[in-house]
Amino acid sequence: MRLLVIEDYAPIRNAVAQGLREAGFAVDEAAEGREGLWYAKGNDYDVIVLDLMLPGIDGWTILEQLRAAGRRACVLVLTAKDQLEDRVKGLDSGADDYLVKPFALAELLARVRTLVRRKYDLPDPVLRVADLEIDTAARTARRGGRLLDLTAREFVLLEYSAARSGQVVSRTDVWQHVYDFHSDSQSNVVDVYVGYLRKKIEAPGLAKLIHTRRGQGYVLGALP
């Protein structure tokens, strides 16, 4: 899943972005409001971690412009403002959650995972496709009870595909939600990683779960 962190204080921005990357997310970063708004309007993010007190354009304005433009990314407001009226204003302005500084990284990660599930309408942190189980909190995947040995990139590709189980996922979808802004979108890396997943989840004797739709993309799911 792809996230954007808009935070002007470098130590916090770097720590949050690094923690999110280590948790398997693709992350873009912006250090001031205008840059953050440019990223947020130009890309289809799953979650945006947004500071309110920013140079250039403040977080309130970014949030209002995103909602006015119809952007549906979940927004986690990250701020030192801890007054009740500030929290109410943030939520009423279109924020999905609110976390006051200082905070524990573990709590931020848990809130981000919750927002990802909310965006894809997934009430359970464990995604199930036939006999395939993906635990989005533990970052593990099993098929038929057997633990799969997946790299971080393979896991996030599987997680995104499972969140859209039964739907066609195009290569463009994968680039927008699994890779960050600086990835090389001209390569065939999506096809390569789909091939890696096939080898790991479709062992001999097991039903095929990844189906190619020529000219469209891929579908994760069991055929009827």
Say if residue 38 is in the same domain as residue 107: yes
pLDDT for the residue numbered 40: 93
- Residue type at position 84: L
CATH number of the domain encompassing residue 28: 3.40.50.2300
15 & 111 share domain: yes
Given a cut of 80, is residue 112 above it in pLDDT? Answer: yes
Q: What is the pTM of this model?
A: 0.82
Give yes or no for residue 182 having a pLDDT over 70.
no
Final residue before a domain boundary, out of 96, 119, 142: 119
**Average pLDDT for 2-26:** 93
- Same domain for 115 and 145, yes or no, is no
Rounded CA gap, 167 and 140, in Å? 22
Contacts 24+ apart (CB under 8 A), 210-219: 210/161, 213/168, 216/168, 216/170, 217/168, 217/169, 217/170, 217/171, 217/173, 217/174, 218/161, 218/168, 218/169, 218/194, 219/166, 219/167, 219/168, 219/169
Q: Which of 97, 119, 141 delimits the end of a domain?
A: 119
Say yes or no: 144 and 159 in one domain: yes
**Residue 119 identity (one-letter amino acid):** K
Minimum mean pLDDT range among 4-18, 57-71, 172-186: 172-186
Domain that holds residue 96: 2-119
